[in-house]
Amino acid sequence: MKNIVSIKNLSKTYDNNFQALKDINLDIKKDEIIALLGPNGAGKTTLISIICGIVIPTSGSVSVDDFDIIKDYRKTRSQIGLVPQELTLEQFEFVFNNVSYTRGLYGKPPDPSLIEKILKDLSLWDKRNSRINELSGGMKRRVLIAKALSHEPSVLFLDEPSAGVDVELRQEMWEVIKDLRNSGVTIILTTHYIEEAEAIADRVAVINKGELLIVDNTSDLVQSMGQKTLIIDLHDAVDSLPTKLDNYNLKVLNNGLSVSYDYDSKSKQTGITSLLQDMKESGLKLKDINTEQSSLENIFVELVREK
Amino acid sequence: MMNFYAIRAIYLHEMDRMRRTIGQSILSPVISTSLYFIVFGSVIGGMIPELDGVSYGSFIVPGLLMLTLLTQSISNSAFGIFFPKFTGSVYEVLAAPISSLEIIIGFVGASASKSLIVGIIILITASFFVELEIQYPFLMFFLLVLTCLTFSLFGFLIGLLSNNFEQLQVVPLIIITPLVFLGGSLYTIEMLPEFWQKVSYFNPVVYLINGMRWSFYGSSDISILISVLSLVAFLLACIIGVAIVISKGYGVKN
């Protein structure tokens, strides 16, 4: 699939000498949803701010649809929509006018029918003549999305779209994002909610301390990096495990009524068969067995901790 | 190719701000200037002899007009760019496919338009209180437009550099207003002792006020040519200042 955004050796050091990005290389495919995952201060916002033209890079290059973001900034920016993290809206303006203003900024002639469609799609049409300061936080975030879509971008950046929104609205937002992707818009979202990345992203890029740690398909990442855990419930509680089981690094859980065993499901020898055999020979009676796949959250925590 | 829709969007957006805040944008300067005309023009002015052949009330019109134009142009423009910086909504201007020149044309053009509107309203208001005579109306209008543009650009620069509301207010209140009052808006330089006359020539506003006064009455303390040249020089200085700040990322890109 064609790359819509291509980032090469991108670095950014701010005037206060803080290095926010270190030699980032990343290709973003057309029509995908990619989540930039990282803790606060990881460099996610700096990265998208550079692509959108809000922050000047120190070195490296970025192209959008094969156009350079600095040399051909009009061509790149006109294809990009940005939903910022903060609710940065002028409070005394009217919803319809404010969304139309953004369309004008992007060099597009007024199109009231398009603005009407966008507002209706985002359930904001009833609020078109309301002032921004009369809206709830969730509605304000939707206004920001409406503004970002007002010039019909092919690439949409969402900086922490779920920050400060309730569960119901978050689910709604995810549906909106999926619909946009289905309509041919490439979505790049930053988030520190793992659940969000898992729920909607095709690929995940993990960033920490300005460095890109890994980029992979969300499901492949969970498969390849995730460990599985075997949970074995025992019939009788144990105070300590027999020495024969020392090599398995078992963890005793649930006041001695369960033990857990971490294994790599991709490995040729998971050790499960021998473990069960050794447990039987040690006289332990098994009550139940189940397995757990480590989540993206576990992988993320491990990746960030390793750095 | 210029992004005319963006210039139009910024211009109309800023003009809409004036409509929303009409009391602050139009009524406030008109009322305060009218008070000057009532007190200094009609009441006290009646006891002061003619200056340069015109009544005192008429004499102070160009100076008061200039006071309003300067403070309004600076405030409008500085606030116009500072407010989006303050709220964070400046991101959409920076992320849009707009050149720096187009941003400046939009913001400065709107600010200058607002000041021009206020200036014209003040002239009309003045005509109710004092006898108004404009010998060179085209020159007066040219100076009016040039002053609005120059000081709107200056205000834009202040807005770019300001990090808080206090910094935003410092220049119009603490620098411009005293310079206008001490720049011969209410008197001729010749009325001052010789030493203070010389000091006054270091006040750039003296040249602006005298230029405007010349267009009204055909006489002033300073040659009209020097007045116009000094205004153009300040315009160039503002253009260079804004260009430098923008080249360094508007104070927000780094």
Interface contact flag, B95 A73, Cβ < 8 Å: no
Q: Rounded mean pLDDT of B111-133?
A: 89
How far apart CA A252 and CA A191 sit, in angstroms, is 35
Residue pLDDT, tens place only, B207-217: 888 899 899 98
3-state secondary structure B210-231: HHHHHHHHCCCCCCHHHHHHHH
How far apart CA B107 and CA B22 sit, in angstroms, is 18
Residue ranges of the alpha helices (H) in B56-203?
Answer: 56-87, 90-95, 100-129, 137-161, 165-170, 177-181, 194-200
A-facing residues of B in 56-115 (CB < 8 A) are: 83-84, 87-89, 91-98
- The CA–CA distances, whole Å, from B177 to A161, B71, B173, B217, B218 equal 46, 7, 6, 24, 25
Which residues touch A216 (CB under 8 Å, ≥6 apart)? A203, A204, A224
* Chain A residues touching residue B106 (CB < 8 angstroms): none
The DSSP bridge partners found for residue A131 are A94
Q: Which domains does chain A possess?
A: 3-223 (3.40.50.300), 226-294 (3.30.70.980)
> Is the distance from CB of A287 to CB of A235 less than 8 angstroms?
yes
Interface contact flag, B254 A15, Cβ < 8 Å: yes
Q: Rounded mean pLDDT of B130-153?
A: 91
Which residues touch A16 (CB under 8 Å, ≥6 apart)? none
Q: Are strands A251-253 and A80-83 parallel, antiparallel or unpaired?
A: unpaired
Tell me, yes or no, if B24 comes closer than 8 A to chain A by beta carbon: no
In what order do the strands lie in the sheet containing A3-13? A19-29, A3-13, A59-64, A67-68
Residue pLDDT, tens place only, A227-271: 678 889 998 888 888 888 888 888 888 888 999 888 877 677 888
Interface contact flag, B8 A104, Cβ < 8 Å: yes
* Chain A residues touching residue B10 (CB < 8 angstroms): 104-105
Average pLDDT over chain B, rounded to whole? 86
Interface contact flag, B3 A88, Cβ < 8 Å: no
Tell me, yes or no, if B53 comes closer than 8 A to chain A by beta carbon: no
A107 vs B5, B16, B84: nearest CB: B5
pLDDT band at residue A25, thresholds of 50, 70 and 90? very high
Interface contact flag, B6 A104, Cβ < 8 Å: yes
Tell me, yes or no, if B190 comes closer than 8 A to chain A by beta carbon: no
The DSSP bridge partners found for residue A208 are A211
Residue A103, token pair as written in the block: 């369309």
Check residue A224 and give its pLDDT. 64
Rounded to two decimals, what is the model's pTM? 0.80
Query: Amino acid identity of B228?
Result: V
Which residues touch B153 (CB under 8 Å, ≥6 apart)? B77, B104, B108, B235, B238, B239, B242
* Chain A residues touching residue B92 (CB < 8 angstroms): 82, 102, 105, 147
Q: Rounded mean pLDDT of A199-215?
A: 89
Q: ipTM score here? A: 0.83
Nearest-Cα residue of chain A relative to residue B20: A92
Which residues touch A47 (CB under 8 Å, ≥6 apart)? A7, A10, A21, A24, A36, A190, A207
